[in-house]
Structure 1
Amino acid sequence: MADINRAMFLRHMRCAPNMYVEHTAKAKLVHSGLAQSFWFRPLTASVSEVPVDDQQLPLLFHARTLDFQDLTVQATVTYRIIDPHTAAGRIDFGIDPDEGIWRSRPLDQLAGLLTESAQQHALDLLSGTPLRQALADGVSPVRERIAVGLTGDRRLAETGLEIVDVRVVALRSEAEMERALQTPLREQVQQEADRATYERRAVAVERERAITENELQSQIELARREEQLVDQQGRNARKRSTEEVAAEKIRTEADAERQQLLAQTQAEATRLVGMAQAEVDAAALTPYRDLDQATVLGLALKELAANMPEIGTLNLTPDVLTQVLGRLAADRK
C-alpha cells in the first residue's frame, strides 16, 4: 500500500522499498522502479504497484489415489515476481490514486494460478499411486513433482513469476483409513516389543540358570574339597592312631623288657641271697651235723623257747607227756 498525500489537484506518492512502481501518463511511462516517490495528476495518471518480495502461498487440497482413496495434501509455495513490468502488463496491479490501494486483487489471481497448477501436478502423480505407496513414499515425490511442474510452467514464466521454494508439509488420509493402515504396523511394533520382552526374559532366565549352575558347581567343588578334607582327616587320624599304637607298643615293650630285666635282676639277687643264706645256714648247721637227734632236738627247743613269746602258764596233760616220752624212748632205742 502506497502513501498518498493530497495537494489541490496533485497527488504525491511514496512507496515501500520492496514495491515496483510504474507511472504512466498519456500512454507514456513517466516513472518506474523501486522505492519511487513523485507527484502526479490523478486525472491523467495510471499508477501500478507490484511487490517484488517473496510471497508465501499455503495450499490445502484433496487428491484421489489409484485405489480411489481420498488423500489430503498440505503444502506451501514460495514465489516472487522477477519481472514486475511483465506482471503489471498481464495482471492488474493498478492502485487508487486517492487511497493508494489496489483496485482489484492481483495477488489472489496469482494465488489461484499457482494453486491450480500445483494441484494439477500433484493430482497427476497421486492418481497413479496407491494410497499405501503414497503414504510410504512420503512427501518427497509430491514436492519434487510440484516443484518441477511449477518451474517448467510456461504461463507462470510469461507472467514474470519465479518459484523460490516448494514445501509439502503432510499427506493425510481419512482417519479410519489411517487407523486401518496403522494397525499392521502397530501389530508389528507390538510383536517386536513382545519379542524384545521374551528375549529379555530369556536372557534373564539364561543368566539365572548360569548363576544357579555356578552356585551348584561351587557347591559341588565345596563338597569335593570337604570330602578331600574328611578323607585327609581320616588318613591323618589313622596315621595318628597307628603312630600312637606303635608308640604304645614300644612303650609296652620297653616296660616289659624293663620289668623282665628287673625281675631277672631281682631273681638273680634273690638266688644269690638264697645261695648266700643257704651257705650261711649250711655253715651254721655244719656243727650240728655230727650230733645225735636228741641233742639237736634239744637245741631246737632251746632256740624255739628263746624266740617264742612269753608264756604265762603251760599245761601239760598226761597224753602229751606220754607221747613225748614214748618218742624219746624210741629215739634212744
Structure 2
Amino acid sequence: MATIRTIGPVAQLRSEASRHVIRYRNGRVRQSGRGLVFWFRPETASISEVPMDDREMTLFVRGRSRDFQAIAVQGTIGWHVVDPERLASRVDFSIGLLTGKLRGEPIERIEARIIGISSQAVLQHLGGEPVDALLAAGPEPLRGKLEAMLAADPALSEIGVAAVSVRLTDLAPTSELERALQTPTFEALQQKADAAIFARRALAVEKERAIAENELAARTELARRETLLITQEAENARSRAAGVAQAHGVEAAAEAERIRLVEGARVGTEQQRVAVYRDLPPAVLLGLAARELAGKLETIEHVTVTPDLLAAALGEFRRAAPQVAAR
C-alpha cells in the first residue's frame, strides 16, 4: 500500500518496490513505474497501484464424473501481473488520495476470473472420465490440462495477468463413495490376511501332525523295544528255569542213585540176614526176636506169660533140642 503525505495543496506519494504506480492527469498517463516517489495535486490527479508480486489463490471445485459420481478437487493457483498498465486499464486499481488504500477489490475480481476458467477446465476433465479412471490417474493429468488452459485462455492475457503455477493437493470422491471404492481393496487385503492366517494354521496343524507322528513312532519303537525286552526276559527266565530244572534233575538223579545204592546195600544186608536166619530153628529165632524187642523197649513193667504161651515155648524147645544135639 502506498504512503501519501499531504502538505497544503500538494501531496507526496511513496510506493513500495513490489507495487507498480500509475499516475493519470486529464486521462493520460503521466508517470508509471515501480517504487515511485513523487509530488502531485490531489484535485487534478488519479493514481492506480498494481501489485507486482506473485500471489496464490485457493481452488476448490466439486464436480461429477462421467458415471455421475461426485468428486472434489482442491489445490492452489499462483498468478502475477505481466502488464500493469493494461491491467489498470481493464480493472479498477485506483487508490484513495488521502489514505493510499484501494477503493475497490480488484484482486478478488481477478481471482474470480481465474477460478471461473479453472472450474470450467476441471468440470470438463471430470465429466470426461469414469470415477475409477480419474482416481487411478490421480491429479497430475488434471494439473497439466489446467495449466495449459490457463496459459492459452485469452481472458487472462487480455487483462495482463498470467498463471505461473498450478498445484493440486487432493482429488477425492465423497466419503461414501470412497468407502465403497475401498471395499474391494480392503476385501482383497482381508482375503490375503485370511489366507495367511489359514496357511499359518495349516502349517501349525502340519507341525502338530508331524510331532504326533514322531511321538507315535517313538512310542511304537519303545513298545517294540519293550516287547523285545519282555521276550528276552522270558527267554532268560526259561533258560534259568531249564538250568534250575536240569540242576534239580541232576541232584534228583544223584539222590536217587544214592538211595538206590543205600537201599541196595540195605536189601543185600537184609538178604544176608534172612539167609542166616533161614536155617535157624524157630526157638532161636524166637529168642532173637525177643532180644531184638527187648533192646527196643525202654522199660517193661509187667510181663504176662499164659499157659498156652509157655506150653508152646516148651514144645518148640523140645523139638529143637535134638537138632542142636545132632549138630
TM surpasses 0.5: yes
1:165 alignment counterpart: 165
Aligned partner (choices 293, 304, 311) of residue 319 of structure 1 = 311
Query: What is the identity, as a one-letter code, of the residue corresponding to 1:108?
Result: E
**Distance of 2:61 and 2:320 partners within structure 1:** 180
**Distance of 1:322 and 1:250 partners within structure 2:** 62
Range with bigger deviation, 61-70 or 116-125 = 61-70
Structure 2 spans left out of the alignment, 5+ residues: none
**Distance of 2:86 and 2:96 partners within structure 1:** 20
The 3-state SS of whatever aligns with 1:93 is coil
Deviation at 1:16, TM superposition (A): 3.1
1:289 alignment counterpart: none
Query: What is the identity, as a one-letter code, of the residue corresponding to 2:213?
Result: Q
**Distance of 1:160 and 1:137 partners within structure 2:** 33
**Distance of 1:312 and 1:155 partners within structure 2:** 179
The 3-state SS of whatever aligns with 1:222 is helix
2:237 alignment counterpart: 241
Deviation at 1:130, TM superposition (A): 4.0
Query: What is the identity, as a one-letter code, of the residue corresponding to 1:140?
Result: E
Does the C-alpha gap of structure 1 residues 198 and 31 become closer, same or farther in structure 2, counting only changes over 3 Å? Answer: closer
Query: What is the identity, as a one-letter code, of the residue corresponding to 1:32?
Result: G
Does the C-alpha gap of structure 1 residues 325 and 155 become closer, same or farther in structure 2, counting only changes over 3 Å? Answer: closer
> How big is each residue's C-alpha offset from its partner over 1:236-262, in whole Å with a ceiling of 9 and x where there is no partner?
222211321232134224424543665
2:43 alignment counterpart: 43
> How big is each residue's C-alpha offset from its partner over 1:147-197, in whole Å with a ceiling of 9 and x where there is no partner?
111123344334332322213344566x6xx74x45753552464366346
Range with bigger deviation, 310-319 or 249-258 = 310-319
Does residue 210 in structure 1 map to residue 206 in structure 2?
yes
1:14 alignment counterpart: 14
Does the C-alpha gap of structure 1 residues 85 and 234 become closer, same or farther in structure 2, counting only changes over 3 Å? Answer: same
The 3-state SS of whatever aligns with 1:92 is coil
**Distance of 2:112 and 2:34 partners within structure 1:** 27
1:150 alignment counterpart: 150
Deviation at 1:102, TM superposition (A): 2.1
Root-mean-square deviation (CA, aligned residues, Å) is 4.6
The 3-state SS of whatever aligns with 1:210 is helix
Return the TM-score normalized by structure 1.
0.71
How many residues are treated as equivalent by the alignment?
Answer: 316
Query: What is the identity, as a one-letter code, of the residue corresponding to 1:323?
Result: G
Deviation at 1:61, TM superposition (A): 4.5
The 3-state SS of whatever aligns with 2:217 is helix
2:22–2:29: 8 Å Cα contact kept in structure 1?
Answer: no
1:251 alignment counterpart: 247
The 3-state SS of whatever aligns with 1:47 is strand
**Distance of 2:294 and 2:61 partners within structure 1:** 164
**Distance of 1:127 and 1:220 partners within structure 2:** 70
Deviation at 1:221, TM superposition (A): 1.2
Structure 1 spans left out of the alignment, 5+ residues: 283-292
The 3-state SS of whatever aligns with 2:120 is helix
2:191 alignment counterpart: 195
> How big is each residue's C-alpha offset from its partner over 1:208-240, in whole Å with a ceiling of 9 and x where there is no partner?
532442343134213312321231122222221
Does the C-alpha gap of structure 1 residues 29 and 321 become closer, same or farther in structure 2, counting only changes over 3 Å? Answer: closer
Does the C-alpha gap of structure 1 residues 230 and 66 become closer, same or farther in structure 2, counting only changes over 3 Å? Answer: closer
Query: What is the identity, as a one-letter code, of the residue corresponding to 2:52?
Result: V
**Taking every aligned residue pair, what percent have the same amino acid on both sides?**
21
Does the C-alpha gap of structure 1 residues 79 and 308 become closer, same or farther in structure 2, counting only changes over 3 Å? Answer: closer
**Distance of 2:152 and 2:218 partners within structure 1:** 86
Deviation at 1:146, TM superposition (A): 1.2
The 3-state SS of whatever aligns with 2:319 is helix
**Distance of 1:195 and 1:29 partners within structure 2:** 76
